[in-house]
Structure 1
Amino acid sequence: MTAPLERRADYRVTFAVLCLGVAAFSLLQSMVNPVLPTIEAGLGTDQATVSWVLTAYLLSASVFTPIIGRIGDKVGKERMLVVALAALAVGSLLAAIATNIELMIAARVVQGIGGGVLPLTFGIVRDEFPRDKVAGAIGTASALLAVGGGVGLVIAGPVVDALSYHWLFWIPMVMTIVAALAAAFYVPESPERTPGRINVGTALLLSAWLVALLVGVSQGHLWGWSSARVLGLFAAAAVLLVTWVWAEARSDQPLVDMRMMRIPTVWTVNLVALLFGAGMYATYAFLPQFLQTPESAGYGFGVSVTDSGLLLLPQTVASFVAGVLAGRLTARFGSKAMMVFGAALTALSTLALTVAHDQVWQVVVATVGLGLAFGLAFAAMSNLVVAAVPQSQTGVATGMNTNIRTVGGAIGAAVVTSVITASIQPSGFPQESGYTHGFAVLAVVAAGAALVGLLVPVVRVATHVVPGPQAEAELASTVEP
């Protein structure tokens, strides 16, 4: 269903607003990681409890990203973009003024609602931009996720040193307020709408299996992987996942159309996203720790939080450059080629870290390779999913792809945590072999993503599909040459 036409804003203004929102969300994904000990001390809590500052955000974003994307497909992407940005702003305000860990965790849950910014951005780009500009815009917006993650690691230390950790939330709050106001005034209403109601039952099932899985994964190293709590959560996640798929397949108004998820391009790209997310988020989590490890441990460089961020700045610049160039490279070589190349470059870069990490320049060179890989692969995955689904399902499809990448990141971080901390020195730092094995695991995972990427068919779907098993799905596709 198409909304009434109205006077459209210049797409470049729309794009600037969208990029500001994506940047604010991506900053909040990474800025908190390096300063968790500072937050722990400031709020008078312990390490196990403060870890929920990350876990709560991860859970909330995973649950709300596809749901907000689906609601945007139905009621309008512009108005849901304003809602998502407003949630980011409110959550940032609560986190900035939090004087206890309970309010901080609640604030991070509210911030996670802002995960809907990502699928809404991709949907608005597809609705509003000239066709020849869509791939480049999606590439740049996707790369901002990697860029924002890197910038967060870079600026966290200087912000805390110069001001306090509270400003890690004040800054994104200002950004999101500006973006929300600009979205309300300058981003036009969506011309594409999906009819039907929001299936609350399947939304609850989706939320339930995601929460069970991610709590088990994120807390496994603290509770014990063989503990009854963790095993029980994994069992519950498996049962709830099967129930959710069954319920969606039988629903006249599914939250996530299972026929869409079975499109060959969609499910193969989602599998690449799972593997790629595992490598990328684990890299962001553990490289700063490696750099900050004192040389007395037999490895590491003993740098401060601020200096470790600066050493990762070239990686951030490389991600931005890759995102800017992604549109032109995609037009010439295709999104599939860029995704496979990005995954292969990730494998080579993490392999380089595995065998050579004794000098600062070796780490910097490897991280520049990772930055280029992240920028290209993020752009390619989003473009492939957008091209493969009907326009009316862009939000939920890209939301699920983002969500699956996040789940992969949680699993990757948990696995690498277990590998790195398997052997601890008397000083309390992991053995160097732990990091070596961890980097090797990431190289294998990235190589797997590249191999799966070779199986991705490049498909364009130009039809409008109304979700539901009773509707005739016009999913006839043509494979690009």
Structure 2
Amino acid sequence: MSDVLVAPVQAPPQEQRGHGTRLLVPILAFAGIVTALMQTLIVPVVPELPRLLNASAADTIWAVTATLLAAAVATPIVGRLGDMYGKRRLLLVSLGLLVVGSSVAGLSTTLVPLIAGRVLQGLAAGVIPLGISIMRDELPSEKLGSATAVMSASLGVGGAIGLPVAALLAQTTDWHVLFWTSAVLGAGAFVLVWAKIPSGAAPAGGRFDLPGAIALSAALIALLLAISKGASWGWGAPLTTSLFAGALVLFLAWGWWELRTPAPLVDLRTTAHRQVLLTNLASIIFGFSMFAMSLVLPQLLQLPTTTGYGLGQTMLAAGLVMAPMGLVMMAMAPVSARITDAFGPRTTLMIGAGVVALSYGLGVFFMAEIWQLVVVSAIMGAGVGLSYGAMPALIMGAVPRSETAAANSLNTLMRSIGTSVSSAVAGVVLAQLTITAGGAELPSQTAFQVVLGIGASAALVALGIAAFLPRRTKAL
């Protein structure tokens, strides 16, 4: 791309920020929740897709994998483009892609257009980091902490609330309604952003790093394909090992290029800053830890009671048990901001990681009744809400304003990589520790307890990493 002929300017002075932005936080949070709904939107119909689309189960799982890959590729690229060309503009583009993708999926009757629609939905993943970056530009410092905590929590809220809503729609209507509902919600978010969100500071301009974007995209696709498909292909299979090796080579080549190009996609020197590096590392581990609960609880709830530990519930009931986690996450956003204001984001992140570890520890022993899983889910939501609120504050306290969207997008990507690794690890454990019930191989109770134990250990590792962060941080 050619250079953008616009001079970078600073954000509005502190005393001028916050005027006319009363609706900014709820609109951006709504957009974040709508985008996060794409994570769990299709989950209730995945078992039925082979029949609905006349395709094999191995092929239909690409309706899930394609969204994961598209989101991983889009997140860092959209963040950089937002810094260069305007965050509100890229936010509208992302929401537009979500609407188009939902419409394509809503019209689909075969697998290929459904996958195409899911790819477009995945390309909207940059909405949350873009929203956080807009808040940094528009809000006064005394409102920024709670606002970014709410926006960051919307990632988990959308995923948690989306499961029961999607299950209800899937059970009572045609499956296409899932996508038309997301199209309507996305269109509503688009209109609200277009009408009420200010343009903010002028874009920074510069030249887009196309070679860096291609190399990073290829590396992420290779890595996430190997992680997500390794169990079915075989972890030692030539294709899996080739993808891991290719990802390593591509990441090294990308890093070499980013350190030498004058306008990198990701400023690795900034990323190597102690505060940014440790926050991103903690985010990977934390994403790994958090997702384990999302894998264990629905399966425990839906396994037949004949296993002796399954609770025999429907997908809708399982979603309703998970929903409190999302609601508590949102409720904890202002608490996260208050702790950060009083003691710094490092303390908030450490407390959040400790609460997550506690929830997993309880889950190992309390899984016999639905109410126990509701309590465990709610405690998990509290820990995640605290931690997710602290991460943007840590990132923005260590990067210049002109790199806010790119830095927040990279942090979001780190969490996504952690959840992908968590899914693979949990899948291996649940596949290896099984029992036979009703003629089928099912995960054993021990398998679930091991996964929960791994999640607790990961949360404690994240806590340990957070302990090395600076005690206080001041936004640049």
TM-score above 0.5, yes or no: yes
Aligned partner letter, 1:229:
L
2:147 matched residue in structure 1: 137
- Between 1:8-17 and 1:399-408, the stretch displaced more is 8-17
Q: Which residue of 1 aligns with 2:204?
A: 194
Q: Does 1:396 align with 2:406?
A: yes
CA distance in 1, matches of 2:285, 2:451: 15
Q: Deviations over 1:316-342 (max 9, x none)?
A: 221121124322232223211111111
The match for 2:9 is 2
User: What is the deviation of 1:3?
Assistant: 7.5
Q: Equivalent of 2:376, from 366, 384, 396?
A: 366
1:230 and 1:21 map into 2 onto residues whose CA distance is 36
Alignment partner, residue 92 of structure 1:
102
Do the aligned partners of 2:328 and 2:378 also contact (CA within 8 Å) in 1?
yes
Distance 1:236 1:362 in 2: 44
Corresponding residue for residue 442 of structure 1:
455
The equivalent of 1:40 in structure 2 is: 50
> Given residue 355 of structure 1, which amino acid in structure 2 is its aligned partner?
F
Give % identity: 34
Contact 2:227 2:424 in 1 (8 A): yes
1:318 corresponds in structure 2 to 328
Match of 1:456 in 2: 469
Q: Does the C-alpha gap of structure 1 residues 44 and 449 become closer, same or farther in structure 2, counting only changes over 3 Å?
A: same
CA–CA distance in structure 2, aligned partners of residues 361 and 8 of structure 1: 42
Mapping of residues 395-434 of structure 1, within 5 Å: 395-426=405-436, 427-434=440-447
RMSD between aligned residues? 1.8
Shift of 1:459: 5.8
Verify: 1:104 aligned to 2:117, yes or no.
Answer: no
2: distance between equivalents of 1:190 and 1:242? Answer: 36
Of 306, 310, 320, which aligns to 2:316? 306
Which residue does 1:472 correspond to in 2?
Answer: none
Aligned to 1:249: 259
* Per-residue deviation, 1:80: 0.8
SS of corresponding position for 2:312: coil
* Unmatched runs of 5 consecutive residues or more in structure 2: 1-7
2:3 corresponds in structure 1 to none
Whether 2:387 is the aligned partner of 1:387: answer no
> Which residue of 40, 64, 67 maps to 1:57?
67
Q: Please, which runs of 5 or more residues in structure 1 have no aligned partner? A: 464-481
The 1-side partners of 2:345 and 2:54 are apart by: 48
Q: Which residue type is aligned with residue 450 of structure 1?
A: L
Residue 82 of structure 1, CA deviation: 0.5
Is the partner of 1:254 in helix, strand or coil? Answer: coil
Letter in 2 for 1:119: P
Q: Which residue of 2 aligns with 1:466?
A: none
TM-score by length of 2: 0.93
2:37 paired with 1:24 = no
TM-score by length of 1: 0.93
What code does the residue aligned with 2:9 have? T
Q: Which amino acid aligns with 1:449?
A: A
Cα shift readout 1:250-273 (whole Å, capped 9, x = no counterpart)? 110101001110111101000111
Are the aligned partners of 1:74 and 1:194 in contact in 2 as well (CA < 8 Å)?
yes
Secondary structure, in 3 states, of the residue corresponding to 1:425? strand
In 2, Cα distance between equivalents of 1:120 and 1:262: 22
SS at structure 1 position matched to 2:161:
helix
Which residue identity does 2:375 align to in structure 1?
V
> 1:20, CA displacement in angstroms?
1.8
8 Å contact from structure 1 (residues 390, 461) kept in 2: no
In the TM superposition, residue 115 of structure 1 has moved relative to its aligned partner by 0.9
Cα distance, 1:192 vs structure 2: 4.5
Q: Which position in structure 1 is the counterpart of 2:4?
A: none
Contact 1:142/1:379 (<8 A) preserved: yes
Distance in 2, matches of 1:448 and 1:115, equals: 27
The residue number in structure 1 matching 2:5 is none
Cα-to-partner distance string for 1:209-237 (whole Å, 9 max, x where unaligned): 10000000000110011111100000000
User: Residue 172 of structure 1: CA displacement?
Assistant: 1.8
